Amino acid sequence: MVTTISQSFYESVQPKPTLHSIEELSVTGANGIEIPYIGYIKVSITFADITEQIFHVPFLVVSDTDFYLAVPMIVGTNVLHFLQALECEDIPPA
């Protein structure tokens, strides 16, 4: 699963990241329905209190729908796999 943000959420971000186009890519949801998208942005993220390492992840910018207006961002496995890759000793106790 890829991380998505709604077009409205993207438009509200300042400074606005560069929107890159994706040609000839069909994105389908778990339910088999095609997900309309505008493009993607490159996002640099860190996991506070876990690591200071910076991860660079693409986020798809998707067209506004009733769902995406209510849920403007979905964190996908393309972000979560970075956590899985960290060594257990890198993660501080709770």
pLDDT one-digit tens code per residue, 5-53:
999 999 999 999 999 987 767 777 778 887 778 999 999 988 887 788 8
Q: Per-residue pLDDT tens for 71-92?
A: 888 888 778 887 777 765 555 6
pTM score of the predicted model: 0.75
- The DSSP secondary structure of 24-69, one letter per residue, reads S---B-TTS-B--EEEEEEEEEEETTTEEEEEEEEEEEE---HHHH
Tally the C-alpha atoms within 13 A of residue 4's C-alpha that lie toward its C-beta: 22
- Residues of the chain by 3-state class (helix, strand, coil), percent to 5: 25, 35, 45
Per-residue confidence (pLDDT) for residue 24, from 0 to 100: 65
Q: Which residue type sits at 41?
A: I
